[in-house]
A and B are shown apart, each in its own frame.
Chain A
Amino acid sequence: MDLKLDHRTEDRLTIVEVEGEIDVYTAPRLRELLIDLVNKGNFHLLVNMEKVDFLDSTGLGVLVGGLKRVRAHDGSLELVCTQERILKIFRITGLTKVFGIYASVDEAKEAHGKDK
């Protein structure tokens, strides 16, 4: 399955919807979107991974790169993910300690609201 990307802004939070496979072939498109959003002043990103079928270390690299970019502007990049097969790769690489990972968009928005 190819990669589908969409995004919307709610309050100060930009929600990036990702669907499909994030791998060495498709990850550059996600990287371009994240760079474009940051360049346009969106520094608080929430990436919804609930419809992601596959994620490899290239995809992880893109998310880490996005996190570095938003942090340079005192921003945040957090994730929504409950799929065990996707969470496993975050655990193996130790990235569960780097990203905020939420069970739903609403849960992330609530936590983000408290941080304001």
Chain B
Amino acid sequence: MATVELTFSALPAHVRTARLVATAIARRTGVEESLLDEVRLAVGEACSRAVEVHRAHCPGEPIRIELRDDSGRFEVTVSDHAPSDEIKPEQPLDLGMLSDSFMSGFGIAVIEGLADDVEVFPGPKGTNIRMSWPAANGV
């Protein structure tokens, strides 16, 4: 059973709130202090990506986050309802190809560089990004 579930409308202003909630629960779950910045950034990246794809495809649909503390790990799943054909495999850096508006591929790359364990489940009805870190104790 999820420890905490959070849904929020696809507005950039709510991403900070989601980051703060995830970081607070990670701390309470016993994630090491040195990893909390990584949790904050990875959850923020996943939520930012979800907000951007929802604004493009389904702005009225909420974004969902589940935060769990199963089996000695702190696990976060961010779920969106937008078609996920925008996730592309990592490609060599090319400044000319980079956009300053939406860098979804970068967001996923950052999450993969930060989280101890990451799985991305893309699908036609949405994407689930599940990430986890070691945790010392349950909530």
Contacts and interface: CB of A to CB of B under 8 A. Distances in A.
Interface in A79-111: 85, 89, 92-95, 97-98
A78 interface: no
How many chain A residues sit at the interface, stated as a range, is 20 to 34
Interface string A29-66: 00100000000000000000000001011101110111
Nearest to A64: B98
Contact of B45 (A56, A94, A95, A98): A56
Q: Which of A58, A67, A89, A98 has the most CB of B within 10 A?
A: A58
Contacts of A61: 98-103, 106
A23 B16 contact: yes
Contact of A24 (B40, B48, B99, B113): B48
Contacts of A25: 12-13, 15-16
Given A25-B12, A92-B114, A67 B95 contact: yes
Contacts of A58: 48, 103
Contacts of A56: 41, 44-45, 48, 107, 110
Main secondary structure of the interface of B (DSSP, over half): helix
A75 to B, nearest CB: 14
B76 interface: no
B109 A93 contact: yes
A57 B99 CA distance: 11
A31 B102 CA distance: 12
A86 to B, nearest CB: 10
A25 to B, nearest CB: 4
B37 interface: yes
A56 to B, nearest CB: 5
A26 to B, nearest CB: 8
Interface of A: 21, 23-25, 31, 54, 56-58, 60-62, 64-68, 85, 89, 92-95, 97-98
Interface of B: 12-13, 15-16, 19, 37, 40-41, 44-45, 48, 51-52, 93, 95-96, 98-103, 106-107, 109-110, 113-114
10 contacts: A21-B16, A23-B15, A24-B15, A54-B44, A57-B48, A60-B103, A61-B102, A64-B98, A64-B100, A94-B93
